[in-house]
Amino acid sequence: MLTLTAIDQSYNKVIATIKSCKTKTQLKGASEMVKNFKFLYRKVGYPKILSYNLNKTLNKQYTICQS
Instruction: Render pLDDT for 24-36 as a digit per residue (tens, 0 to 9).
Output: 999 999 999 999 9
Residues 6+ apart with CB under 8 A from 29: 17, 21
Q: What is the pLDDT of residue 16?
A: 97
User: How many CB atoms are located within 10 Å of the residue 17 CB?
Assistant: 17
Q: What is the pLDDT of residue 59?
A: 95
User: How many CB atoms are located within 10 Å of the residue 58 CB?
Assistant: 20
Q: At what angle do helices 6-20 and 24-42 cross, to 10 degrees?
A: 170
pLDDT digits (tens, 9 = 90+) for 34-65: 999 999 988 888 888 999 999 999 999 999 98
Q: At what angle do helices 24-42 and 48-66 cross, to 10 degrees?
A: 170
Q: DSSP assignment, residue 12?
A: H
